[in-house]
A and B are shown apart, each in its own frame.
Chain A
């Protein structure tokens, strides 16, 4: 079956530090990959996405590259801000009849201190 594994958290950084959150996946076929963010007390918001190998998704200074050879989709940001404190979820959407059924990683809590 499909699965997503994220690096264990929580992650605590100082403002302006470099961020990497690792994500690897297992899926049949050619899934689409996503990063969602959940701010305190809110629902999930799509942060970025990639639909095929070597695609790079980017948004709000965050980036992730779809690496088929390593089945990875690591999230990076060059300089984090306090406002980036949130829970980050990696997810995949397998093709075929499972369209719309997202498979999520366990989430990584990020806390950024001033």
Chain B
């Protein structure tokens, strides 16, 4: 298993440009999520999905869109990049089995700089 993969590893955008960060997992996990990591702030949840066709907002969703057409993929779209979106983005996935405890598996991250 490759686990959780993310592409690209690094990206530089100009203000106003759009792009999609890719995330894929091969563990048949139902739950997937996107976090951003900023210095001194830990990780904050952007969007999450509990299964194909179902998504919801996290703590900091503004400026980002997601969709979940397959179990494996959960892309994150930046509609019009802003310098405030400069961050490291992590995708995570976990099994969903009701009310139990699930370990979340994280991808290696995408470092995004918006100039």
Name A's B-contacting residues (CB within 8 A).
4, 32, 36, 41-46, 49, 51, 89, 93, 95, 99-102, 104-107
**Shortest CB distance A2–B (Å):** 10
A105 to B96, CA, bound (A): 24
| Subset of 19 A-B contacts with CB under 8 Å | A32-B101, A36-B106, A42-B108, A42-B109, A43-B108, A44-B43, A44-B106, A45-B106, A46-B103, A95-B99, A99-B96, A99-B99, A100-B104, A101-B58, A102-B45, A102-B104, A104-B43, A104-B44, A106-B41
A104 to B40, CA, bound (A): 11
A105–B42 touching, CB < 8 Å = yes
A93–B101 touching, CB < 8 Å = yes
- The answer, among A4, A46, A105, A106, for a CB contact under 8 Å with B104, is A46
B101–A100 touching, CB < 8 Å = no
**Shortest CB distance B10–A (Å):** 11
Contacting residues, chain A, for B74 (C-beta < 8 A): none
Q: A43-B4, A44-B92 are in contact. List 11 more A-B contacts (CB 8 A).
A: A43-B106, A43-B109, A45-B106, A49-B101, A95-B99, A100-B31, A100-B102, A104-B42, A106-B41, A106-B42, A107-B40
**Shortest CB distance B47–A (Å):** 11
A105 to B44, CA, bound (A): 10
